[in-house]
Amino acid sequence: MTEKMRAVFKISPEPGATEFRDIPIPHPGPEDVLIKVAICSICGTDVHIYNWDAWAQNRITPPLLYGHEFAGEVVEIGDRVKEIQVGDYVSAEGHIYCGTCYQCRMGMRHICSRLNILGVDTQGIFAEYARIPAQNIWKNDPDLSMEYATIQDPLGNSVHTVFATDIPGRNVLILGCGPTGLFSTAICKHIGAEHIFVTEDRNQYRAAIAKKVGADEVFLRGDDVEGEIMNATDGIGVDVVLEFTGSPVAVNQGLKVMRTGGTMALLGVFSKEFTTDLTDNVVFKYTTLQGITGRLIWDTWYRMRSLFRSGLNVDPIITHRFKFDDFPEAMDIMRSGQAGKVVLYIE
C-alpha cells in the first residue's frame, strides 16, 4: 500500500474553495476499520459545503475532507474489531453515535446527543481510503451493485420517512423531486401505494424521473394541485404526505389536501420559522405530524436490504457517472439540478 492518498478538501470558508490534496493514508485505531473506497456519491449536504451557504458557514470548519456516501472493501482492521473482516464489501452509517447517552441507551442512536456526522463533523470519504468506526460499518450483500451500495445514506433517509407512515393501499403526496423525494416515490410504488402524486417547483428534468420511478401525477408550479388531488380522491384528500422540500408553501399545500386523520412525515429542512393554521390543519383534522432525521440504526438498513432483495429499482435516479479525478465536473452537474444522483468511481 502506498503511503499517500488523494482526497477532496474544502480548503477555506468561501464558495467553491475545493481541491485535491495528497495526504497520508490514515491508520485504523483499535475500534476502526480502513476501507479502500471504490465508489462515492455526492449528497445535497456536500453541495451546501461547496456553495458555502448559511448552514455551512455555521457548521463547517475548513480545511475539511468532506463526503459521506460510499462503498468499498475493508483492507485493515483495528485490534479490537471482531465482526468485520479484511475483504468485506461495506458501506457505512454516516451518523457516528456515542452509544452511552440517554438517547442511545433508549435505542435512538440516530438522535444521539453527541452525534458526529461523517464528512461534516469528522473527516469524510471523498478519498481513496477512509477510516470509519467499526460500529458504523454495514456489510453489503455480495451481489449488491456498487451504485446501490453507495446511495444507501440518502435512500435510507427516504426509507425512514416512508416507513414512518402507512403506505400500502394509500394515496400519497410526495413534496419535492430531489433525490430523497425520488427515492421515496420508487419505494412507495414498490410497496403498493394506491396513487402517488408528486410536486416539483420547476425542475422538469427531475419531474420526468419521478414519472419513471412510479409517480402517477407530477405537478409543476402553476398547476392546480389542490383541485386535481381532491378530484382524483373523490374529495377526500391524500392519506399520507411526505415532505422533502423545506418549503412553507409546500407544507401548507400538503396540509390542505390531506384527508382528515391523515399523516405528514417531514424530512425537509426549513431555513426559517413559518406560520400555519394548526387549529384547522392539525387539531381539527386529527393530523399526525412526524419529524424525520437520519436513519434508524440499524432498523432502516435492514429494511433497505429487504427492499433490494425484493427488487426495488432506483436505476433511473442514478443519472451521472464520473471518474474520481473528474470531481469538479461531477459537482457542477449536481449543483445544476439537472441530475438525480451523481456517482464517482475511484480506480
Q: Which residues are catalytic?
A: 45, 48
Q: Which amino acid does the sequence have at 204? A: Q
Q: Which residues pair with 217 in a beta bridge?
A: 197
Separation of first and last alpha carbons in the chain:
14
Q: Would you tell me the crossing angle of helices 152-163 and 299-309 to the nearest 10 degrees?
A: 100
Per DSSP bridges, beta strands 258-266 and 238-243 are parallel
177 CB neighbour count, 10 Å cutoff: 28
User: Under a CB-based contact definition with an 8 Å cutoff, are residues 91 and 71 in contact?
Assistant: yes
Query: What DSSP letter does each residue of 58-97 carry, written as one string?
Result: HH--SSEE---EEEEEEEEE-TT--S--TT-EEEE-SEE-
The closest of 42, 49, 24 to 131, measured between CA atoms, is 24
User: Under a CB-based contact definition with an 8 Å cutoff, are residues 71 and 150 in contact?
Assistant: yes
